[in-house]
Structure 1
Amino acid sequence: MEFTGSQTIAASREQVWQGLNDAAVLQECIPGCEAFTAENEDQYKAVVVASVGPVKARFKGTLELSGRDAPNGYRLVGQGEGGIAGFGKMTATVTLADAEDGTLLTYVAEAQVGGKLAQIGSRLVTSVANKLAAEFFKRFNATLSAASEAAAE
């Protein structure tokens, strides 16, 4: 399943880039994130609780960043195991561009699920994945816009 989106963030491209590479900011913005720790500069371990229809699970996994082109974007690959609930894998390309009101962040992502999650139905899984992505970027936008406003005062 593929999903895309974009947000205009009221912050400079450099500020948005820094936020996208800050483990604390990412943990704060990921819905259901219980832990998010850097293994090295390009790899993180995460624990995220997510519900998809009747299936609620704690996913433990990794997120790896590659193709960094500061401050223009990168590619990320994530995978998580949710025990009996199954697994999820995701790849995404995030790009940043200057916009009139700050920075335009655009993402194109592809996700795969297996186990009980795959049995739920792709329409529901796609809907939840889109909702989680939208919630992440809404939180990210609010966090970065507030930080940018505070820095300007």
Structure 2
Amino acid sequence: MKLEGEHVFNGPREDVWEMFYDPAILASAVPGMDKLDVVAENVYEGVMNVRIGPVSGKFQGKLTLTDVVEPENLTLTVDGKGAPGYGKGVGKVAFIQNSDGTTTLKYDGDMNIGGALASVGQRMIDSVAKSMIRSAFETLDKALEARLAAKKTGTEVNFTPPTQTEFATGVAKDMVGGFTKVPELRLILYILPVVAVLVILALTLSK
């Protein structure tokens, strides 16, 4: 599965970079994640709930960052497995500072999925992954806004991540708009980065 695209964040590149190195923020981007821990430098391990159509269960995954050039780019390698199947992927992420003070994040990754997870169909997986990434970026937009506001005023960050219901509803709307209806759409942040990439690459993630 190929995942590529870009997203513009309304903030400086350094702040966007720092946000992507905050496990708490990344975990909040995709409700359903039980944990996301730093186990070594640039190595994360997480456990997430996954549900795509009739396939559901928990995934255990590892996310490794390599070729890190702060705050310009990095490479994500994800490896996850569980009762629903397995997923492995690699993605490159670039952070580009724009002249207007915004930051463009570009990602390009490939994900291989097997087991029961692959049985739901490539079209459904692709559409869910894209929607998950979009929703994750919306959450990260709000997180960045809160971090910048707190930095400016010298106060604590006031950010409340979306609930699982709110997140699933947003993804479901995307599905109804163009593809199959899917109840409770949750994946794993593999990607992250991008999270996806990517957050689903991040755990189908993970985008």
Tell me the amino acid that sits aligned with residue 97 of structure 1.
I
1:1-153 to 2 correspondences below 5 Å? 1-83=1-83, 85-99=84-98, 100-153=100-153
Determine the C-alpha separation between the residues in 2 that align with 1:29 and 1:120. 24
Determine the C-alpha separation between the residues in 1 that align with 2:81 and 2:38. 18
Tell me the amino acid that sits aligned with residue 135 of structure 1.
S
Determine the C-alpha separation between the residues in 2 that align with 1:40 and 1:48. 19
**Bigger mean CA deviation after superposition, 25-34 or 102-111:** 25-34
Residue pair 1:8, 1:101 contacting (<8 A) in 2 also? no
Tell me the amino acid that sits aligned with residue 146 of structure 2.
A
CA deviation digits over 1:16-74, x for unaligned, max 9? 11111121221122342110000011111101112111111211110001110100121
**Helix, strand or coil at the partner of 1:30:** coil
Determine the C-alpha separation between the residues in 2 that align with 1:91 and 1:31. 22
Tell me the amino acid that sits aligned with residue 90 of structure 2.
T
State the 1:13 CA deviation. 0.6
Q: Which consecutive residues of structure 2, in runs of 5 or more, have no partner in the other structure?
A: 154-207
Tell me the amino acid that sits aligned with residue 48 of structure 2.
V
Determine the C-alpha separation between the residues in 1 that align with 2:137 and 2:88. 19
Q: CA RMSD in A?
A: 1.4
More strand by share: 1
State the 1:113 CA deviation. 0.6
Determine the C-alpha separation between the residues in 1 that align with 2:92 and 2:29. 18
CA deviation digits over 1:66-88, x for unaligned, max 9? 110100121101121122x1111
**Helix, strand or coil at the partner of 1:74:** strand
**Helix, strand or coil at the partner of 2:104:** strand
TM-score, with length taken from structure 2: 0.69
For this pair of structures, how many residues does the alignment match? 152
Residue pair 1:12, 1:102 contacting (<8 A) in 2 also? yes
Tell me the amino acid that sits aligned with residue 98 of structure 1.
Q
**Helix, strand or coil at the partner of 1:67:** strand
Residue pair 2:2, 2:111 contacting (<8 A) in 1 also? yes
Q: Which has the higher contact order (CA 8 A, sep 6+)?
A: 1
State the 1:101 CA deviation. 4.5
**Helix, strand or coil at the partner of 1:62:** strand
Residue pair 2:38, 2:44 contacting (<8 A) in 1 also? yes
Tell me the amino acid that sits aligned with residue 148 of structure 2.
S
**Helix, strand or coil at the partner of 2:11:** coil
State the 1:5 CA deviation. 2.0
TM-score, with length taken from structure 1: 0.92
Q: Which runs of 4+ in 1 moved over 4 A?
A: none
Determine the C-alpha separation between the residues in 2 that align with 1:15 and 1:5. 20
